[in-house]
Structure 1
Amino acid sequence: MSSQVAKAARRVTHELHGIVVSAGLMQKTVKVRVGGQRWNKIINKWFADPKHYLVHDPNSSLRTGDVVSIVPGWPTSKHKRHVVKNIIAPYGTPTEERPPIPTLEERIAEREAQQAAKRERRARTEGEQKE
């Protein structure tokens, strides 16, 4: 499993910080706004250009207004490609009263368990089809 952790750690090329703008409307998913700027060549001025990401929140521990750090992860659905790393500044209820955010090792272990179950199901169905 340590090789999986090392591979995942190498894959994390950048960590983004943003504000949760929508939480509780989707299961295990939040929308995070990450700030950015864009230069307008005609006016010669920087303009705000925020970007929104759908982020996987495994334990539904985030609330609207939280400042969080997100990292790239496995594709969870069609539009979710990032996962919550930690809460930088909670808004409202303190983090001690919320479900914990899983660490990288816990997420890798859960993914390996899911893939092992999937391999087992495939082997079982292939065995039934051959008979």
Structure 2
Amino acid sequence: MFCEYKATRRGRKFVKVARDFPSSQICSDCGFRDGPKPLHIREWTCDNCNTRHDRDWNAGRNIKYEGRRMLAATAPSTPGPGARRPVTATVNACGAHVRPGNSPAARTTPTLVGRKQEPTRSG
């Protein structure tokens, strides 16, 4: 459970792939299942796409793909285009609250080059 601990610590998701998943029998490029191979065969060529595979690298890629597939199957569906997003309060860099929506920006008067201009006060 070391991997699960590390994933949780780093804020990632951990998915356990079935023990009997045929990771070394499937071509990671085209998905063709070639069947079981003896353990002494460390490299093999896919009969379908002629890609040469290292047994361990190929199995690692297949396990990664299967984990991602399982994770995508359990993920909640995302809202479609045009879905309304919840309005949340935001805070600007100074810590003041900013209201969402179309609010006019504060206007400032331009400063003249080389002169210091005092801000105008209304009252």
Q: Which protein has greater RCO, CA pairs closer than 8 Å, 6+ apart?
A: 1
Is the TM value for this pair above 0.5? Answer: no
- Whose radius of gyration is greater, 1 or 2? 2
Higher helix share: 1
Higher strand share: 1
TM-score, normalisation: structure 1: 0.25
